[in-house]
Chain A
Amino acid sequence: MYTKDGENYFVVDGHTHFWDASPANWIRGQEKYAKGWIECFHAYQGLGPAETHWPIEKFQKYSEETMMRDLFDDGHVDVAIFQPTNLRQWYVNGFNTTEVDGAMSERHPGKFVVNTTWDPREGDEGLRALEEHAKRWDCKGVKLYTAEWRGDSRGWNLKSAESARYLEKCQELGIRNIHVHKGPTIWPLDKDAFDVSDVDFAATNFPELNFIVEHVGLPRIEDFCFMATQEPNVYAGLAVVIGGLMHARPRFFAKVMGELMFWLGEDKLIFGADYAIWEPRWQVEGFVDWNMPEDDEFGDYGKLTVTQKKKILGLNAARLYDLKVPADLEDAKEKTTEPVGVPAS
């Protein structure tokens, strides 16, 4: 729990990783991708405050103790949600798998929510694996990468019949939160992998599931917002928004937050530090201290209230994941408000 100026913030980090990108885990022949991937992540860390930058060796592989300290001792996080990224084509034991996350979660009861992943191209076998993971780690969410290249397949989308089978399976297993990565990707080469129309389709067909678009579709926030205004069960994952912009580009950060509040509203925004790209501490403290600048340039946007920040930093995710929050925050957790938005005129 983070307390500032007499206000309590229950912090849920909606997007965290425990990865191993050390050279020992690189697959032979794939070294340039394995190395390029982690170096790319490391460059993103450069957008945070200088005192939070890590040397590349630490960034490639950090210890469990480091992570526990950065999140829970220093980082004000109450509960963190693991989002797996397998990348088994480049990393021998995977980059950040459900298995590794799940094992860590078991060693620290109550600290983590373990999400798993699926890929509809894995057919019946994938469905069985999903069920196994979901039962083993009591998963309430999944992280999906629709743009992933595999063999001859140029990625997949949530509109397909195969995807619908998996979404039905999620419902059956009690997995309610579908986190979809819509952001920078590598393959297929010519594809605009930021297309969110499949999320639109699935969100309409599965109104009981929540769809959290990670990285708010960056760099295509406009397409994402336009879609999200039409779907009550679509949420914005703020990983990268706070970490990548709040320190490095504060004025753009203010505008992006202004737009997200305008089009989606306070109940739909989910904080995620995206550890270990960025540590949560400066993000949580900075966001609580932050507000919309006074200049005319920001005149279209409203200021954020303490309650709105509480929702964004944790209560919204707590609502989606049924996390128990302190009694004094229960009310704010359940309250829902209509976004400012613009009327559909």
Chain B
Amino acid sequence: MSGTTGTAQVTVGSEPEIRPAVWSALGTVRDPELDEPLTELGFVSHCEVSPTGEALVRLRLPTYFCAPNFAFLMVADAYDAVSAVPGIRRTVVELTDHFAADVINSGVAARAGFLGTFGDEAVDELDGLRADFVRKAVLAGTDRVCRAMVRAGTDPASLAGLALGDAPESTDRERLRARRRELGLPSTDRDPLVLDPATGAGVEEAGMRRHLGFARLTRVSQEANSGVCRGMLRARYPESQPTATQGQEQT
């Protein structure tokens, strides 16, 4: 895993102190489905701050028909993250090369919400969809943390009795904790290491094997999707060089 930022395609504006802060803010915005930062996925094609504090960010996605609900979430989240950077007076986030780009861009700029943006074409805001994917991220994160422990010698049968704080400190553990916290699930060191993301209840030993099997499957699915998206992005924008994370093959 790497935390480097892909600066190659980023235009340096004339406010050198603010631009890195804007880039960092964009690094907190995730593709909800892939659970990875837009900056690492190569989705940020342009990031510029003017001397008057206007931020212009352009986003690009792997296909013209990427799901508009996820696209909307990413544009809206990017807008919120950049707007919150001290010194930024105005924010423009433009999704490019997407069939619904104009509608999404103007909807986000007007703070219209998903329903206000798409009217009759949508019936719900996207909170439920987002939560579904954070639950998947909890499962995938559980596999990452527990797999490393089992490899290091922890008996899988003992996992049911362990707490989050019993897992060795790692970025994976903290990422798992952060996703649990986002959902309002127990996330202190004393809370169960393995819990059901739908209910928050600890998983008992009898159900552990199945739960971990499903956690592994969820991680495989998430990482395979990320691999497809990265491949498609590169096919579409051959100049893009997304940086390596766990979603990319280390071959």
Interface Cβ pair total, 8 Å cutoff = 128
Q: Which of A152, A154, A192 contacts B129 (CB 8 A)?
A: A192
Distance in angstroms from A87 CB to nearest chain B CB is 12
Is A222 among interface residues, defined by CB-CB distance under 8 A?
yes
Stretch at the interface among B8-16, B81-89, B114-122: B114-122
| With contact pairs A32-B99, A190-B129 given, residues A255 and B63 touching in the complex (Cβ less than 8 Å) | no
In the complex, what residues of B have CB within 8 A of residue A258's CB? 220
Stretch at the interface among A5-13, A57-65, A242-250, A325-333: A242-250
Is B225 among interface residues, defined by CB-CB distance under 8 A?
yes
Contact A344 B210 (CB under 8 A): yes
Distance in angstroms from B73 CB to nearest chain A CB is 10
Indicate with 1 or 0, residue by residue over B174-210, a CB within 8 angstroms of chain A CB atoms: 0000000000000000000000000000000011011
Contact B206 A190 (CB under 8 A): no
Distance in angstroms from A18 CB to nearest chain B CB is 22
| With contact pairs A186-B68, A221-B217, A259-B217 given, residues A43 and B249 touching in the complex (Cβ less than 8 Å) | no
CA gap between A36 and B61 in the complex, in Å: 13
Q: Which residue of B lies closest to A149 (CB)?
A: B121
In the complex, what residues of A have CB within 8 A of residue B151's CB? 296
Indicate with 1 or 0, residue by residue over B54-69, a CB within 8 angstroms of chain A CB atoms: 0000000011110111
Q: Which of B69, B213, B232 contacts A342 (CB 8 A)?
A: B213
Is A40 among interface residues, defined by CB-CB distance under 8 A?
yes
In the complex, what residues of A have CB within 8 A of residue B62's CB? 43
In the complex, what residues of B have CB within 8 A of residue A33's CB? 99
Is B6 among interface residues, defined by CB-CB distance under 8 A?
no
Is A256 among interface residues, defined by CB-CB distance under 8 A?
yes
Distance in angstroms from B161 CB to nearest chain A CB is 17
Contact A221 B224 (CB under 8 A): yes
Distance in angstroms from A109 CB to nearest chain B CB is 37
Contact A222 B231 (CB under 8 A): no
In the complex, what residues of B have CB within 8 A of residue A256's CB? 220-221, 224
Contact A222 B218 (CB under 8 A): yes
| With contact pairs A245-B228, A248-B227, A255-B220 given, residues A186 and B99 touching in the complex (Cβ less than 8 Å) | yes
CA gap between A46 and B231 in the complex, in Å: 8
Distance in angstroms from A56 CB to nearest chain B CB is 12
Report, as a range, how many residues of chain B touch the other chain: 35 or more
Q: Which residue of B lies closest to A223 (CB)?
A: B221
Contact B232 A43 (CB under 8 A): yes
In the complex, what residues of A have CB within 8 A of residue B121's CB? 187-190
Contact B65 A40 (CB under 8 A): yes
Q: Which residue of B lies closest to A341 (CB)?
A: B213
Q: Which of A46, A251, A342, A344 contacts B249 (CB 8 A)?
A: A251
Indicate with 1 or 0, residue by residue over A167-194, a CB within 8 angstroms of chain B CB atoms: 0000000000000000011111111100
Contact A186 B231 (CB under 8 A): no
Q: Which residue of A lies closest to B114 (CB)?
A: A190
Contact B217 A47 (CB under 8 A): no
CA gap between A47 and B207 in the complex, in Å: 38
- Best-buried of A187, A220, A226 by chain B (most CB within 10 Å): A220
In the complex, what residues of B have CB within 8 A of residue A46's CB? 231-232, 234-236
In the complex, what residues of B have CB within 8 A of residue A296's CB? 151
Distance in angstroms from A50 CB to nearest chain B CB is 11
In the complex, what residues of A have CB within 8 A of residue B132's CB? 192
Contact A36 B65 (CB under 8 A): yes
Is A100 among interface residues, defined by CB-CB distance under 8 A?
no
CB under 8 Å from chain B, chain A span 229-260: 244-245, 248-253, 255-256, 258-259
Contact B64 A39 (CB under 8 A): yes
Contact B235 A219 (CB under 8 A): no
Contact A221 B221 (CB under 8 A): yes
CA gap between A165 and B120 in the complex, in Å: 29
Q: Which residue of A lies closest to B232 (CB)?
A: A43
Q: What are 22 of the A-B contact pairs (CB < 8 Å)?
A: A46-B236, A47-B228, A152-B120, A186-B67, A188-B122, A189-B69, A189-B118, A190-B69, A190-B114, A190-B122, A190-B129, A218-B228, A221-B217, A222-B221, A225-B217, A226-B217, A244-B231, A250-B249, A252-B220, A252-B249, A255-B223, A259-B217
Q: What 10 A-B pairs have minimum CB-CB distances, sorted nearest first?
A: A46-B235, A249-B227, A219-B225, A190-B122, A36-B64, A221-B221, A252-B224, A255-B220, A222-B218, A189-B68
